[in-house]
């Protein structure tokens, strides 16, 4: 039966770190596997065959990382050893050591989180990348920039992280946003074999969002916004057009408006995929849509996009969209004040408003859900299966006609 143990080889140079290595014994033959881990003589416990960590020393964090990484690697190698022995496959010592050498290296939590951010960027999923970045930075701040390996994660640590966020006056849903994203990332780590799924790290915290009141404009508010006398070509007029276009497009999110291309419109049907879910949606093109787009045609002659939001396809598309979105939302707040709103007006309110007005007009909820591209079909799936696209178009046309009748 083969064995693998951790050993320490002191340096021949005084006051220099020694090297940790694995000793593999198989059929009385011995072989050593070197590591990149180095500790001083006084940091090694020969009897326990493990690293000794002095309390509050300047090397404490580094030694904790090494100790945890070694523990992870030993478990991986012993698991490999058990699999080989149960398979009854006869292996030589060299073949056994070769099997150990192909095991993936132990990654720290911070390294893994950074890799996930870069992966999302490479896939052009900038929104998800930004979500991962903010989650990573928050967790890193909580850890005071002290990295750790996955074995150090515990349910108590996650619970303490939740309390740390709460003590910084974070709102409940903001806290759960960070926790849910971290849970998603750690699930990816578990899928990659870096974390045991049995540990249930988030068992002491709540991950579900609390219900918040969605801000929606009434029909009267929409009419007031539509009928404001604004000078053509101003930032106020552009912000209103973006809001109304979103509303008339069944509450299309601003990010989807930004990425709309002229090629998405064919034979009176606009087809696009939601950036958030990648779900394909179709909207019947109405006169009001064309009127808004036409106002900006002279600014988009040299671009494939419908609106002058993304002007250059040079890898900075996401930044261009975010910059315009922030400007539009700042301007919408001014427009909200102009029509007497008591709560801030943002681009996303158009989405809530379409759903609210559609419901008030007794349009069936399944049609509203389908029209908005919702994917949470648990309560409406039975109805959604039988919905015809024409019914959705009819619902949208009914809303547009009702609003347009009030135009002065």
Within this chain, do residues 310 and 385 fall inside the same structural domain, yes or no? yes
Specify the higher pLDDT residue, 116 or 360: 116
**Cα–Cα distance, 293 to 399 (Å, whole number):** 19
Final residue in a domain of this structure, among 73, 101, 129: 101
Question: Is the pLDDT assigned to residue 17 strictly greater than 60?
Answer: yes
Domain count for the chain: 3
Dist CA 278 CA 387 (whole Å): 20
User: Are 268 and 379 contained in the same domain?
Assistant: yes
Kindly state whether residues 73 and 133 are assigned to the same domain: no
Same domain, residue pair 223 and 331 = yes
Are β-strands 280-284 and 269-273 bridged in parallel, bridged antiparallel, or unpaired? antiparallel
- The DSSP line for 304-338 is SBSSTT----SS-HHHHHHHHHHHHHHHHHHHHHH
Using the 3D structure, point to which of 83, 101, 119 is the last residue of a domain: 101
Residue 209 included in any domain: no
Whether pTM exceeds 0.75: no
Residue 380: pLDDT over 60: no
Phi/psi of residue 271, each to 5°?
-120, 130
Residue 210 within any structural domain of the chain? no
β partners of residue 39: 18
Backbone φ, ψ for residue 211 (5° rounding):
-70, 130
Q: What is the pLDDT of residue 101?
A: 74
218: pLDDT strictly greater than 70? yes
Residue 207 located in a structural domain: no
Instruction: Give residue 408's pLDDT.
Output: 63
pLDDT band at 388, cuts 50/70/90? very low
The answer to whether residue 239 scores a pLDDT higher than 90 is yes
The pLDDT of residue 55 is: 75
The yes-or-no verdict on residue 44 having pLDDT over 80 is: yes
pLDDT over 60 at 384, yes or no: no
Cβ–Cβ under 8 Å, residues 333 and 349: no
For residue 381, the model assigns a pLDDT of 33
Last residue of a domain, one of 101, 132, 149: 101
- 261 and 331 together in one domain: yes
> Between the CA of residue 177 and those of 70, 121, 165, what are the distances in Å?
33, 20, 11
What is the per-residue pLDDT across 311-355, written as a single tens digit (0 to 9) for each? 988 889 999 999 999 999 999 999 999 999 988 999 989 988 888
Question: Does residue 17 sit within a domain?
Answer: yes
Task: Tell me, yes or no, whether 290 and 186 share the same domain.
Answer: no
Q: How many CB atoms lie within 10 A of CB 113?
A: 24
| % of the chain beyond a pLDDT of 90 | 49
- 75 with 114, same domain: the answer is no
CA 59 to CA 37: how far, in whole Å?
13
- Percentage of the chain beyond pLDDT 70 is 92
225 and 330 both lie in a single domain = yes
Residues 391 and 317 in one domain: yes
Confidence band for 235, pLDDT divided at 50, 70 and 90: very high
Q: What is the H or E stretch that residue 124 is in?
A: none
Q: Is residue 214 a part of any domain in this protein? A: no
The contacts of residue 234 (CB under 8 Å, 6+ apart) are none
Min mean pLDDT across 6-20, 53-67, 157-171, 243-257 is at: 53-67
Supply the pLDDT for residue 382: 31
Mean pLDDT (the chain) is 87
The label of the residue with tokens 């991986």 reads 76
Give the separation between CA 250 and CA 393, rounded to whole angstroms.
9
* Distance of alpha carbon 399 from alpha carbon 357, whole angstroms: 8
Tell me the CATH number at 253.
1.10.443.10
Domain residues for the domain of 281 are: 219-404
Domain membership of residue 212 (yes or no) is no
Asked if the structure places residue 204 within a domain, the reply is no
The pLDDT of residue 69 is above 70: yes
What is the arithmetic mean of pLDDT over 264-291?
Answer: 93
pLDDT of residue 213: 58
Of 294, 314, 318, 292, the residue nearest 240 (C-alpha): 292
Alpha helices in 167-234 (DSSP H): 172-191, 219-226
pLDDT band at 132; cut points 50, 70, 90: very high
Residue in the structure block whose two tokens are 């080889």: 9
**Which neighbouring-strand residues pair with 149?**
108
15 shares a domain with 124: no
How many Cα atoms sit within 13 Å of 6 on the Cβ side? 25
CA distance 106 to 72: 7
Q: How confident is the model at residue 73 (pLDDT cuts 50, 70, 90)?
A: confident
User: 160 and 130, same structural domain?
Assistant: yes
Q: Predicted confidence band at 367 (pLDDT cuts at 50, 70, 90)?
A: confident
> How many angstroms separate the CA atoms of 393 and 390, rounded?
5
pLDDT for position 387: 38
pLDDT at 265: 96
Tell me, what's the pLDDT at 198?
Answer: 64
Return left, alpha or beta for 355; rule: phi > 0 is left, psi -120 to 50 is alpha, else beta. Answer: alpha
Residue 45 resides in a domain? yes
DSSP lists the bridge partners of residue 3 as: 25
Among 200-209, 211-220, 358-367, whose mean pLDDT is lowest? 211-220
Same domain, 248 and 302: yes
């Amino acid at each position: 039966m083969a064995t693998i143990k951790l050993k320490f080889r002191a340096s021949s140079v005084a006051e220099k770190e020694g090297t940790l290595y694995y000793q593999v014994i198989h059929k009385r033959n011995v072989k050593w596997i070197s590591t990149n881990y180095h500790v001083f003589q006084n940091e090694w416990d020969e009897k326990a065959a493990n690293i000794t960590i002095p309390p509050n020393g300047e090397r404490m964090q580094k030694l904790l990382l090494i100790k945890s990484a070694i523990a992870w690697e030993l478990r991986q190698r012993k698991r490999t050893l058990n699999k080989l022995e149960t398979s009854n496959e006869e292996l030589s010592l060299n073949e056994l050591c070769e099997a150990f050498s192909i095991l993936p290296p132990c990654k720290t939590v911070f390294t893994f989180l950074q890799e996930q951010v870069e992966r999302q960027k490479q896939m052009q999923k900038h929104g998800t990348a930004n979500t991962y970045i903010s989650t990573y930075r928050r967790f890193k701040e909580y850890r005071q920039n002290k990295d750790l390996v996955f074995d150090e994660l515990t349910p108590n640590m996650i619970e303490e992280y939740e309390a740390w966020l709460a003590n910084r006056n974070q709102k409940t849903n903001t806290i759960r946003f960070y926790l849910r994203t971290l849970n998603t990332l750690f699930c990816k780590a578990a899928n990659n074999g870096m974390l045991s799924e049995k540990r249930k790290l988030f068992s002491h915290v709540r991950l579900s969002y609390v219900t918040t009141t969605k801000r929606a404009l009434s029909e009267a508010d929409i009419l007031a916004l539509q009928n404001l006398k604004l000078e053509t070509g101003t930032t106020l007029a552009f912000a209103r057009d973006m809001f109304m276009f979103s509303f008339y497009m069944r509450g299309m999110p601003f990010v989807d408006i930004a990425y709309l291309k002229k090629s998405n419109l064919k034979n009176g049907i606009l087809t696009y995929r939601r950036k958030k879910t990648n779900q394909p949606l179709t909207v019947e093109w109405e006169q009001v849509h064309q009127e808004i787009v036409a106002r900006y045609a002279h600014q988009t002659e040299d671009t494939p996009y419908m609106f002058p939001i993304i002007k250059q396809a040079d890898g900075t598309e996401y930044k261009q969209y975010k910059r315009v979105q922030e400007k539009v939302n700042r301007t919408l707040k001014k427009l909200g004040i102009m029509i007497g709103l008591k709560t801030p007006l943002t681009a996303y309110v158009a989405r809530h408003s379409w759903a609210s007005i559609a419901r008030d007009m007794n349009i069936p909820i399944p049609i509203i859900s389908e029209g908005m591209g919702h994917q949470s079909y648990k309560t409406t799936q039975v109805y959604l299966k039988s919905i015809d696209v024409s019914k959705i178009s009819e619902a949208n046309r009914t809303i547009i006609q009702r609003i347009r009748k009030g135009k002065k």
